[in-house]
Amino acid sequence: MKNHIEKQESTADQGDLTYIIKALNEKSAFNDLKKIETDRSNPNQIINNTYEEVNGNQFTTVLPLSPDAEARKQKFSDFTGAVQPIVIEFDDCPIELQRERAKKLSEEIKTPIGTVYSGKKSIHTYVWFSNFASNPIEYRDYCEGFVEYLASNLPEYFQVRGGDKLSLIPDYSMFDSVRYCRQANGINISTGKKQEFTELKSIDSCEPMDIRELIGELNRREAPTPTNGHKSKDDLFKHTLKFITLGSKKGSRDNDCFDAARDLHNCGFSEEEAKSLLQEGAKRCDPPFSEQEMLKKIKSAYSYEVNGHKTFKYLKLPDGKAYAFIEQSTGAYHYALDGELYHAVKGILIDTFKSLGQNLPDPYPLLRFKYDVHDDNMIDEAKHSYNLFTPTEYMLLEKNEEEIDPVIDFPTINRLLENLIPIREEREHFLNWFATAFNTREKQLTSWVLKGAQGSGKGLFLKFIIKPLFGKKQAIQVEDQQLKDDFNSWMKSTCFICFNEVASSNNARNSINSKVKAIVTDSETMINEKNIKSYLITNYVNCMFFSNEVVPLLVEENDRRFNVVVTGGALVNLSWFDIESTPSALTREVPLFAQYLKNYNYDEKDAKKVIKNQAKKDIVSAGMGRFEELARKLKSNDHDWFEEHMALHEFDKSEIEQIRGFKGYIEKSLVLKLSKQIFNDNNVSPVSLSKRLTLYGVIPKRLQIAGLKGQYYTWKD
């Protein structure tokens, strides 16, 4: 067995060349790829140049690219080479079993075989055959046929997808002609070590086999025919056909694949037919969507049918198709059309369906409205429910293995967050809270107060980030007057509220304080609507508060509800901000930010804790009355605060020593003197001061200290 090879220079004419690709990493731009000229008719040269590393490159592609290639895409794959490899990789398998499997494979199959160990969890096994495929679909079909052959003949080492042992199922996404695979003797960037190459069987010892000798000729698969009343694929949504034929881009793959699977299900395709179709689109995604993730989407999409009743994951009926029903609690007629819900009397309903060329249901489904953020079913005839909550496309994403870098993948959103929450530790705490709220859809019992300069980006964050993630109608902004009002219909069908300048005066702060506390923490809330009897709903709302005021709302000393941060300055003063281009950049980056949140390793317990920072201390102090603040400073033995606010020259040495050392008690006369000076109020009397301080646990009392009796204020530490 060899672990080294030599690159061979091509002597072929330009028209007979193919290009072996070398990439330093997975994100290498096309222009940065190294392209090794190779004679497509020379098997030895193709194999050796595939194995040969160039400047420590980490990856090569499964098949070469054609000379006219403009990108690393399947349409530029070169299928004319004299030999073609099938690369086998296992995502979830012990390394020793992988080595044993490769050795067994080389013993059973008389064709060139080599392995590349990544240095971490996987071995890529290259199995070389004489040319067998002329296009991407044919290539994939032969790869899958090869796995079927191996599963049949070496069942202790191989299983086809859907088997019960993950360690025996290869990664089917490797059957993409432009997929990156590990470079023999290349350098793994994450470990800094060489990727170990072993040539188990060289081309010098055996000729490449014809794969047909093993698995026979493959029958070309025809496109499945939909059933259940649908005659052709023409009934599928355009977005489904687009995913199948073109795939999707990073950040949209999860949602697009699920949408397509759900549409195939609704159009009568079987689950197996959906797998066959969607694997085409999954391979064409950029980067390719893994087989495992695709199967999760299909399983999820095909799980929504209960005892023959219709169930919609979320309302996306065919364009122009309406769904009529009776709401059980009111007896009123409603219909859903193009994503909107309408109330209608029966006569109007009849005319509407006639104009749409549809028949009304007989009998009408009887459904009851509800708002449940944990139920993705909008219409559930089995449970007789119509859920007014609509999960956004981003809520339906699933966690995956994508490594998303905020600086690279959503730089504009990242900069906006840096300006809204400039201190890194505070920003990390916010992201954990935000990711927890987004993923669990649970009430966090804590909220965030963003106070700072006008134009710092608070409104942009709501409009371009929060609303797309939580729903345009389900994430709302509430103004001061709405919170003061007795009617609060804005609370229903809502899961995220941004309060804007809701306490612009001291009187307002006092009047709304109890309302705000209830919204942040109470699990249920009473809805008051005009001319309708009050009713109780579940409170799913998470909150943020936006303000340019120094004291945006009242925060108590031992508060457990509010995180308070001070924003950066106005965005217009920052070099990266552009009033025309920044909003569109934020919109483009939301899909990857959503996937970042889905992949975030959030801590639910930490999300329910509030940070203790100077911004919160300042807002607590500013919201206090002077006597409450004085009592708090005494009880906390805050000597520094008194020294900072008093004029030392007006106090004698013994008084200063007492101020610097009090603990649990202090002379009444000294506190009166301090109060008058600090608050600049000579009208405070000993009696009124004692009454006020007593309210906050600072009690006047006659004590004997150091043998001398006197009047003191005392408190429990």
Domain at 150, CATH number: 3.30.70.3300
Q: Between residues 617 and 423, which one has the greater pLDDT?
A: 423
Three-class SS string for 601-613? CCCHHHHCCCCCC
Percentage of the chain lying above the pLDDT 90 cut? 38
pLDDT band at 5 (very low <50, low <70, confident <90, very high): very low
pLDDT band at 511 (very low <50, low <70, confident <90, very high): low
Domain final residue, candidates 390, 423, 441: 390
Section 240-257 average pLDDT: 80
Question: Which has the minimum average pLDDT: 55-59, 169-173, 499-503?
Answer: 499-503
What residues make up the domain containing 356? Answer: 322-390
- Average of per-residue pLDDT values in the chain: 84
Q: Between residues 100 and 249, which one has the greater pLDDT?
A: 100
pLDDT of 622: 65
> Which residues, 6 or more positions from 387, have their beta carbon under 8 angstroms from its beta carbon?
370, 371, 372, 375, 377, 378, 379, 380
pLDDT band at 609 (very low <50, low <70, confident <90, very high): very high
- Quick one: 609 and 634 in the same domain? no
Radius of gyration of the chain from its Cα atoms, rounded to whole angstroms: 34
Q: Note the pLDDT tens digit of each residue in 185-194.
A: 999 988 889 9
- Quick one: 239 and 208 in the same domain? no
pLDDT of 164: 73
- Quick one: 286 and 176 in the same domain? no
Q: Note the pLDDT tens digit of each residue in 273-282.
A: 889 889 988 9
Please say if the pLDDT value at position 717 is more than 80.
no
Which alpha helices (DSSP H) does 164-322 contain, by range?
212-215, 238-246, 253-266, 271-284, 291-301
- Quick one: 441 and 556 in the same domain? yes
Strand, helix or coil at 263?
Answer: helix
Q: H or E element: which one contains 332?
A: strand 332-337
Provide the CB-side half-sphere exposure for 167 (13 A, CA): 12
Please say if the pLDDT value at position 129 is more than 50.
yes
pLDDT of 197: 95
Q: Note the pLDDT tens digit of each residue in 350-394.
A: 999 999 888 898 889 898 888 899 888 788 877 888 888 989 989
Q: Between residues 519 and 303, which one has the greater pLDDT?
A: 519
What per-residue string of b and e applies to 633-669 under the rule 16 or more CB within 10 Å gives b?
bbbeeeeebbeeebeeeebeeebeeebeebeebbbbe
pLDDT of 184: 95
Question: Which has the minimum average pLDDT: 245-259, 317-331, 403-417, 548-562?
Answer: 548-562
Burial of 439 (0-12, 13-18, 19+ CB in 10 A): middle
What is the value of pTM for the model shown? 0.52
Domain final residue, candidates 583, 599, 619: 619
Section 336-350 average pLDDT: 86
Q: Note the pLDDT tens digit of each residue in 527-545.
A: 887 766 777 888 999 999 8
Residues belonging to the chain = 717
Strand, helix or coil at 260?
Answer: helix
pLDDT band at 110 (very low <50, low <70, confident <90, very high): very high
**Pair 241, 233: CB distance under 8 Å:** yes
CA 335: distance to chain centroid? 33
Does residue 482 lie within any of the structural domains?
A: yes
Geometric angle at alpha carbon 113, from 111 and 116, rounded to 5° = 170
- Quick one: 238 and 283 in the same domain? yes
Please say if the pLDDT value at position 554 is more than 80.
no
Does residue 472 lie within any of the structural domains?
A: yes
Q: Note the pLDDT tens digit of each residue in 18-39.
A: 999 999 988 888 888 999 999 9
CA 280: distance to chain centroid? 25
pLDDT of 504: 45
Does residue 343 lie within any of the structural domains?
A: yes
pLDDT band at 9 (very low <50, low <70, confident <90, very high): low
- Quick one: 508 and 646 in the same domain? no
Percentage of the chain lying above the pLDDT 70 cut? 89
- Quick one: 490 and 541 in the same domain? yes
Does residue 223 lie within any of the structural domains?
A: no
- From 396, 399, 238, select the one nearest 314 (Cα to Cα): 396
